[in-house]
Amino acid sequence: MSPEDGSILTAPRDQRQSRARLKLIDCDVHHALRSLRDLHPYLAQRWREHLDVYGPRGPVPFTGSSPYPKAAPALSRTDAWPPNGGPPGSDLEFLQKQLLDANNIEYGMLHLLAPSGMDQRNQAFGAALSSAVNQWQYENWTQKDKRLKAAIVVPGEDAAAAVAEIERWAGNPDFVQVGMTTHSIEPLGRRRYWPIYEAAARHSLPIGLHTSGYNGHAVSGGGWCSYYVEEQHNVAISQQAVAMSMVCEGVFEQIPTLKVVIVEGGLAWVPSLAWRMDRQFDRMRGELPHLSRKPSEYLRHNMWYTTQPSDEPERPEDLRRIFDWMGWDRVLYATDYPHWDMDNPGQSIKLRLTEAEQKMIYADNARAVYGLA
Amino acid sequence: MARHVVATAAEIPPGGRKIVTVRGREIGVFNLGGEYFALLNRCPHQGGELCRGTLIGLVTSSEPGRFDYSRPGEMLKCPWHGWEYDIRTGQSWCDPNDTKAKAYAVTVEPGETLARGPFVAETFTVSVEQAYIVVEL
């Protein structure tokens, strides 16, 4: 029996007044299309037909599904299915009530997971899809609620098309970052992606790297894992690979003003990765003569990390040591609404935070990274 | 500890539930085959609205490859992270040692014993003809 049986009589919590409290900037909010056909108005006839006849096709043989069972239908909280009959995240009004109003969210950073233009095998279609998604986000989300800020979705495997898409939207205050998938054809530090980073930096737009995409390789370097439980942590490992690639290839040396936000990869790994990279850098500096700084410095200067899914040490205070080491200004709060493993503001970080620390993590760090007023 | 009339017995059929507000707290009242139980509508894990979750059964396993499904409708699964609780006790099956959903005592009483009031949860006028569900809080 589900709660939709009509036996629940009081108003749902999201329809009640939220208490006056800390304003929050949520760095990972998932909106969704009700149907791929929502993109029709934003696609040329040629690509509308392609979408309807062939549909999105990525590098793995899962077109409407995923290689791992995502624990809950649509990967979502069971209370997040909106009254419009579409999937979770597809109803603006419901998302406003359940997420933005209920949690006093000042800004929410939108990350659309599907369809991904960057994942398309047909690159021209990927470019058309990215453009359509951006126009759709603009008209249906960011223009309708100024709290919501979009990422310029780019077909990142085709740098020229990606740069064109950035140029199309840069300067529009509704778009505050550039969104790419993290499981790319080559590691994201490789030079084929640099024109995208240069364009982003030129417009002071961070690159938002939400864990996503299937490039045909196993998510970790350790082969295709058997269980979703493994995949959930493998994405954090893959984000470390992204960070290492960007540091070691010299992306930040070439583009010192580039900002990269790691989304949905956890963050307790940052100190360990930095220590290990620094050690090797000291021993084998000759291999990376193009780096003028220690790897840890790029990790603490050019990169930011979102909290969800929260690291939950048995002794919550251990997290303080990690934040101390990374720098408190690196930590950005994220809920991952409406996904089933979302974090609830005020509940997910078990560490006791001072008021100043709360302000940084829950809002001011993100405000600084994204240049929000 | 005050007692609060929250529903008529007929209002919550077997397998049904009602979420009521008592002294500012939201409480889910459940009918399991004629027995009533009440839990705070707040998951002790991260604060989800527990009592709006799906009713499920208890899955146990005595050996690899064997799964037994019992007590259908007596377990409650939080809509957020899927933590499961025994509606009868509030016992968590994810973290039984440290986590427990807050449970309240529930009784069913005939109207004539309650008519003296005042019973103010929601706005009930207690008539003597019916049976009422009473939560202690």
pLDDT at A7 exceeding the cut of 70:
no
- List the single residue in B18, B46, B82 with the smallest CB-CB distance to A344: B46
Interval A186-211 mean pLDDT = 98
What is residue A298's predicted lDDT score, i.e. its pLDDT?
98
Residue B54 DSSP symbol:
E
- List the single residue in B45, B54, B82 with the smallest CB-CB distance to A2: B54
Interface test with A, best of B52, B78, B133 (most A CBs within 10 A): B52
The string of pLDDT tens digits covering residues A282-304 is 999 999 999 999 999 999 999 99
Closest residue in B to A1 (Cα–Cα)? B55
pTM of the model: 0.88
**SS (HEC) of A277-340:** HHHHHHHCHHHCCCCCCCHHHHHHHCEEEECCCCCCCCCCCHHHHHHHHHCHHHEECCCCECEC
Q: What b/e sequence results for A345-358 when a residue is b if at least 16 CB atoms lie within 10 Å of its CB, and e otherwise?
A: beebbbbebeeebb
d(CA B28, CA B40): 6
> Which of A31, A347, A26, A266 minimizes the C-alpha distance to B78?
A347
Closest residue in A to B41 (Cα–Cα)? A13
**Alpha helix locations (H) across chain A?**
45-53, 92-95, 123-137, 159-169, 194-202, 228-248, 251-254, 269-283, 295-301, 318-326, 355-359, 365-370
Are B19 and A79 an interchain contact pair (Cβ–Cβ within 8 Å)? no
Q: Give the minimum alpha-carbon distance from B46 to chain A in angstroms, rounded to a whole number.
A: 5
Beta carbons within 10 angstroms of residue A250's beta carbon: 18
Give yes or no for a contact between A267 and A313, defined as CB atoms under 8 angstroms apart.
Answer: no
Closest residue in B to A2 (Cα–Cα)? B54
Q: What is the mean pLDDT of chain A?
A: 92
Map tokens 């530090």 to a residue.
A189
- List the single residue in A5, A10, A80 with the smallest CB-CB distance to B26: A10
Beta carbons within 10 angstroms of residue A362's beta carbon: 27
Are B82 and A348 an interchain contact pair (Cβ–Cβ within 8 Å)? no
Give yes or no for a contact between A134 and A152, defined as CB atoms under 8 angstroms apart.
Answer: yes
Name the strand (E) or helix (H) holding B136.
strand B131-136
The string of pLDDT tens digits covering residues A259-286 is 999 999 999 999 999 999 999 999 999 9
The string of pLDDT tens digits covering residues A85-101 is 999 999 999 999 999 99
Residues of B in contact with A347 (CB under 8 A): 45-47
What is residue A2's predicted lDDT score, i.e. its pLDDT?
38
Are B82 and A8 an interchain contact pair (Cβ–Cβ within 8 Å)? no
A189: which 2 tokens? 């530090």
pLDDT at A33 exceeding the cut of 90:
yes
pLDDT at B123 exceeding the cut of 70:
no
Closest residue in A to B73 (Cα–Cα)? A1
Are B17 and A8 an interchain contact pair (Cβ–Cβ within 8 Å)? yes
Are A5 and B73 an interchain contact pair (Cβ–Cβ within 8 Å)? no
Secondary structure of residue B108 in the 3-state scheme: strand
d(CA A108, CA A145): 10
d(CA A250, CA A364): 29
Q: Which is it for strands B35-40 and B106-110: parallel, antiparallel or unpaired?
A: unpaired
Beta carbons within 10 angstroms of residue A222's beta carbon: 10
Q: Give the minimum alpha-carbon distance from A260 to chain B in angstroms, rounded to a whole number.
A: 29
A130: which 2 tokens? 């990215």
d(CA A134, CA A78): 28
pLDDT at B120 exceeding the cut of 70:
no
- List the single residue in A5, A77, A346 with the smallest CB-CB distance to B79: A77
pLDDT at A18 exceeding the cut of 50:
no
The string of pLDDT tens digits covering residues B33-51 is 999 999 999 999 999 999 9
The string of pLDDT tens digits covering residues A312-366 is 999 999 999 999 999 999 999 999 999 999 999 988 888 999 999 999 999 999 9
Distances (CA, A) of B44 to A70, A156, A219, A356, B47: 23, 42, 33, 26, 6
Over the Cα atoms of chain B, what is R_g? Answer: 16
**What is the Cα A222 distance to its own chain's centre?**
23
pLDDT at A19 exceeding the cut of 60:
no
B7: which 2 tokens? 């529903």
Q: Which is it for strands B25-32 and B17-22: parallel, antiparallel or unpaired?
A: antiparallel
Interval A39-51 mean pLDDT = 98
- List the single residue in B16, B49, B80 with the smallest CB-CB distance to A340: B80
pLDDT at A4 exceeding the cut of 60:
no
Beta carbons within 10 angstroms of residue A364's beta carbon: 16
